[in-house]
Amino acid sequence: MELTKENLLDMYRQMVTIRLFEQNLMHYAGEGHVPGTGHVSIGEEAIAVGACRALAPQDYIISTHRAHGHLIARGTHIPTMLAEVFGKATGCTGGKGGSMHLSDFDRNILGTNGIVGGGINIAGGVGLTIKMKKTDQVSVCFFGDGASNRGVFHEGFNLASLWKIPVVYICTNNQYAMTLPLCKNCANQDISARATAYDMPGLRVDGTDVIAVYEAVSGALERARQGGGPSLIEIIAFRLQGHSMRMDAMPDGSSYRPEGEIADWWDNKDPIKIFREKLYGLGYLDDEVAATLEAAAKKDIDEATEFALNSPEPKPESIYEWIYA
């Protein structure tokens, strides 16, 4: 499907919403409102928005610890999500899951995961259901470059390809796994090349280009829907923040990242800035329209924050809920 001007502007609004959600979250984490930790995807917004735009409503998502963007891009109710991250009773898991355990069954987001790579096999099983029930769905699995080094990557990929399961694997290669750069993580830094070993297509896409992401994911979804089996899409991204809200630097406060990298990436690799310039170039966006979209995004986040801050604490007896059916 060709993206219309309206689509593109909406995608811009979504990217801005994700950015504001996470910047807001970092602020409130600093104020002590986020129990545990949270992982922001600042710099990776084009991946969430490009990929989710390509999905059909009936498709499933299985995601990772860095998933706020995937939910927002899918249209999840932001107040419920923020309340969950704050550990409040009104959150999607009643304040018991937090940032790493978000889900939205009404939008077929079956869950994010606190175990790196934990979703890879689950996504295969979701795809197996689709295959067995012969429904017109695809299972989409987000994971990171770090997860690609877990054994489950091998087991899950081999089986999905062997059984021609409708899965699209989206590897967000943000070039870091916690503090460790890609060159110290992956013997072959071209993660997409591993697809060959499983006899499936492997693509590499620029994660600052939301339209390129949309197109690559659309193609893989189509292939899966036609019975062609799984694909691996490696999307190169630029992590503009620290790993998590707890882990941003070396113990002595210095950075584990090369000098100047973050500033350089903010200047040259910020997907929102890049998309904004593109939309200006196309004549779709001007200062006035941008201001309107950004104000709408800000309003959503402000309302969500109000809701989350004013939501009640979970009830003590809720600790027993949802363990057994």
Partner 1 sequence: MAQRQISYREAVAEAIIEEMTRDDRVFLMGEDIAVVGGAFGATKGILAAFGEERVMDTPISETAIVGYAVGAAMTGLRPVVEIMRCDWMTICMDEIVNQAAKMRYFTAGRPEMAMVIRTATEGGIGLGAQHSQSFEAWFAHIPGLKVVMPSTPYDVKGLLKSAIRDPNPVIFMEPIILYGTSGPVPKEDYTIPLGQADVKREGKDATIVCWGAVTSRVMNAAKMLADEGIDTEVIDIRTIRPLDIEAILASVRKTGRLVVAHEANKTGGFGAEIVAQVQEKAFDHLDAPIQRVAANDVLIPINRNLELMVLPREEQVIAGVKAVL
Ligand X SMILES: Cc1ncc(C[n+]2csc(CCOP(=O)(O)OP(=O)(O)O)c2C)c(N)n1
What does the binding site for partner 1 look like in residue numbers (CB under 8 A)? 60, 62, 92-94, 96-97, 101, 103, 105, 110-111, 113-115, 118, 120-130, 132-133, 139, 151-152, 155-156, 158-159, 162-163, 321-325
What is the smallest separation between the CB atom of 154 and ligand X, expressed in angstroms?
15
Shortest Å distance, C-beta 64 to Mg ion:
9
**How far from the centroid of its chain's Cα atoms is residue 100's Cα?**
11
Q: Least distance to Mg ion from the beta carbon of 41, Å? A: 10
Binding mask 108-137 for ligand X (x = CB under 6 A): ------xxx---------------------
- Which of 22, 44, 59, 145 lies at the binding interface for Mg ion (CB under 5 A)? 145
Q: Is the dihedral of CA 2, 273, 111, 7 positive or negative?
A: negative
Which of ligand X, partner 1, Mg ion, none binds 242 (CB below 5-8 Å, type-dependent)? Answer: none
Structure tokens at 235: 């999307």
- Residue 88's binding partner out of partner 1, ligand X, Mg ion, none, with CB under 5 to 8 Å set by partner kind: none
When asked if residue 244 is in the footprint of Mg ion (CB under 5 A), the reply is no
- Residue type at 266? W
Q: How many CA atoms lie within 13 A of 151 on its CB side?
A: 0
Nearest distance from C-beta of residue 146 to Mg ion, angstroms: 5
156 is a site residue for ligand X (CB under 6 A)? no
35, 262 Cβ separation under 8 angstroms: no
Contact with ligand X (CB under 6 A) among 144, 166, 229, 230: 144
Contact between 25 and 218 (Cβ < 8 Å):
no
List, in order, residues 6 or more apart from 298 with CB less than 8 Å away.
20
Where helices occur in the chain by DSSP H, the ranges are 5-30, 45-54, 68-74, 78-85, 118-133, 151-162, 210-225, 261-268, 271-281, 287-310
Closest to ligand X by CB, 182 vs 289, is: 182
Q: Residue 42 in 3-state DSSP? A: coil
Binding site for ligand X (CB under 6 A): 39, 65-66, 114-116, 144-147, 174, 176-178, 243
